Chain A
Amino acid sequence: MTQVEKQMTVGVSDCKVTDDPEGVLITYALGSCIAVAVHDAAAAVAGLLHFMLPEASIDPEKAARNPYMFADTGIPLLLQEVLRRGGKRERLVVRIAGGAQALNGHELFQIGKRNHLAARKLLWKEGLLVKSEAVGGGVSRTVRLEAATGRVLVRESGLNGAWPQTERSMT
């Protein structure tokens, strides 16, 4: 019997939460952005956020229009929705991916690193430890979160599209 998958794409500055056991959340082309994947096995709730920038204070108007663009507004909303759907904070398994850094970046603080640290800071404040992370480097990542199992698959390829592409399950 084949298993039907209901794939839901999470775009840039976007967030989706599902309690459908057949649900699969997927987000593409994580360069300097960060994906935060949250799963509660007992409640079978999964949530995936793809944010671009660390702090809403960078652009409060944009944050008001789309809080998922920023770590400090997006992560609390992701958690709020996961808990609303039956997730329990103490059962949540959190993984993060992304935060790539341009090899010849000129800005003082590379945004990939800032995003990574912002995610860690927010999760620490929210009382969550990170189970594992796939961050940094000069790679583009795609992240796939399965609601039934909580399994997170991450695919990595060179930022310029160069091969080889690798895919692995985050432990």
Chain B
Amino acid sequence: MIAAADFLAAARAVAQDVLETMFFSPAEPVSCQHAEEFVAVRVAFQGGEMSVMISPELAVAASAAFLAEDPGGVTAEQLEMVSRELANILCGAVLSRLHPEERVALRAPEMAAPDFGSGAEVHQCFATPEGRLAITARLDCA
């Protein structure tokens, strides 16, 4: 069983690293500001599930950066694929950080409805110059 506080701390540390390293965008934890049109991806893992919500502007900017394309050249399909991979990397990196001695077991990321954390113990919003990202985790109870 994963403790919520540990997951949150790991997510805060990892989000910045992931966004800077492969998406070339600085990210800082901020207070929440949600909107329903965020692109959302869910990743199930042994012990729970994590949802990643990305504002449309950030989704385009991050996709363009990752793909080495102009923002205007990113297709809807590419945006979805990059968003899924971003969520996949975030989740895998968080789990590796939480349990560095054990293997990571993730399901394939899926597009989903946004989950902005109502009733969830783990929720954190981040800001980047291009837009916002939110992480929600729902962890299995013992």
Known contacts A121-B65, A124-B68, A125-B68; is A108 also within 8 Å of B127 by CB? yes
Instruction: Give the distance in Å from the alpha carbon of A24 to the alpha carbon of B30 in the complex.
Output: 45
Instruction: Give the distance in Å from the alpha carbon of A114 to the alpha carbon of B129 in the complex.
Output: 9
Which residues in A have their C-beta under 8 angstroms from that of B20? Answer: 113, 117
Which residues in A have their C-beta under 8 angstroms from that of B65? Answer: 121, 124-125
Interface size on B, residues (CB 8 A): 12
| B25 touching A117, Cβ below 8 Å | yes
| Contact for A117 among B24, B30, B69, CB less than 8 A | B24
| Contact for B129 among A109, A120, A124, A125, CB less than 8 A | A109
Interface size on A, residues (CB 8 A): 13
Which residues in A have their C-beta under 8 angstroms from that of B26? Answer: 109-110, 113-114, 117
Question: Is residue A118 contacting chain B, with contact meaning CB distance below 8 A?
Answer: yes
Question: Is residue B121 contacting chain A, with contact meaning CB distance below 8 A?
Answer: no
Instruction: Give the distance in Å from the alpha carbon of A81 to the alpha carbon of B30 in the complex.
Output: 41
Question: Is residue B28 contacting chain A, with contact meaning CB distance below 8 A?
Answer: yes
For B104-123 the 0/1 string (1 means CB < 8 A from A) is 00000000000000000000
| B24 touching A118, Cβ below 8 Å | yes
> Closest 3 A-B residue pairs measured CB to CB?
A121-B24, A125-B68, A117-B24
